[in-house]
Chains A and B, each alone.
Chain A
């Protein structure tokens, strides 16, 4: 029988209804089947690492916060932790707990945002609305505690800018419990709905060995069975709270969804624990000295491990700030997941790594 199949090159993105941010995936297709994929980035490169070398160490917090709108707090925290290490500054315990609370609030709103976008990628609009409806409660807490809904600018070198009073801590605990209750309804759909399972199970499989070899991070790595979570290092207040990394073993889009659902519950639990255990005391201290030397600071963002390499020269202006964001690390894994799948599976697989291109390009 004559073989009528042919290869074609399809540029997917940078403008596409399913893409929240611009990335182009150059696809080689055999009919509708993906043979290979190559990423093209650079559409939103802003040179923020360079800008951080032009501003002083305090101003640069605002620069790194703008690397990503969704995990802005985490970027500032990673940067501050690095400089606090270089200056030998010990952050007060209350500030460490407040950082944990805001950090987990960011993880909660980021995962809810992602769940909504994931639902949208397979056309489940009502599920998308429900996820974002729940997310609003988190954004309301951030506005009430820090004055802004997303980029909250709560971190400063040596601690945090604002305190959270006992009434608000009680409100946060109550809201976290309400969100945990609301999650039950959307979890059922993400984990049991026939259509959702059909679109995610067995789609975009990444084995444990591949995930490790390709340097994957965060939920992508953990959904393939590697229980690696930088929070286990115990930065901020994580070392004093009860926490286990969420893992799955199937390595497909369904497993990545399941890991993020588990992490949502973990994040809410951490918020409640931190609000219960938070000690009294100062919320910031001055830096012990000018920063000098080199360090690597790491933390677990919603999308995975973030790394800052910081080089200081004893002045208020840093010699180098290098940022390795989670999506940057997950792109090679994405390229491994795509071949063999139909073009229609691409939006789901792409969304399953929770891509943040603003982060990636800085």
Chain B
């Protein structure tokens, strides 16, 4: 569990983010981690005068996560990143890259998930 972290449910996300915005917090970023049990931990990080506050929630792959770009437009990049790299369902992102922000068509799907078939191979040395 992170320091200065508050556990919330998905239904509380928008009201909680609104509250932080009202209190003058700046959106820093969001982080996502695969819990390896079919769920994902999501953290939204906010900052005010260098004090970091975190909102934590646990979601499953199919949970419809409301986007927070209506409150913090700058969240659109990280929301696209989480949607693309973890396969999360984030709805109505202000600028939605539809899974093509980082990844090309032939790239592995949801590469940051635990079960993703990512092989690390050493390149053959050129003679």
Contact = CB atoms under 8 A, between A and B. Distances in A.
A324 B28 CA distance: 9
A155 to B, nearest CB: 22
B2 A328 contact: no
A197 interface: no
B96 to A, nearest CB: 11
A329 to B, nearest CB: 7
B50 A307 contact: no
B74 A228 contact: no
A228 B103 contact: no
Interface string A332-362: 1100000000000000000000000000010
Interface string B97-127: 0001111100000011000101010000000
By size class, the interface of chain A is 35 or more
B112 A215 contact: no
B118 A307 contact: no
Contact of B27 (A215, A295, A298): A215
B2 A295 contact: yes
A309 B52 CA distance: 12
B33 A320 contact: yes
Nearest to B4: A296
Interface in A294-318: 294-296, 298, 305, 307, 309, 311
Nearest to B51: A233
- The 7 A-B pairs at the shortest CB distance, nearest first, are namely A309-B31, A332-B74, A324-B29, A320-B33, A215-B74, A45-B102, A322-B31
30 contacts: A38-B95, A41-B102, A42-B100, A42-B101, A42-B102, A50-B118, A51-B120, A54-B118, A54-B120, A212-B26, A213-B26, A213-B74, A215-B28, A215-B74, A233-B50, A295-B3, A296-B2, A296-B31, A296-B45, A307-B28, A309-B31, A309-B43, A311-B33, A320-B31, A322-B33, A324-B45, A328-B77, A329-B28, A332-B74, A332-B76
Interface of B: 1-3, 26-29, 31-34, 36, 41, 43, 45, 49-50, 52, 54, 72-74, 76-78, 95, 100-104, 111-112, 116, 118, 120
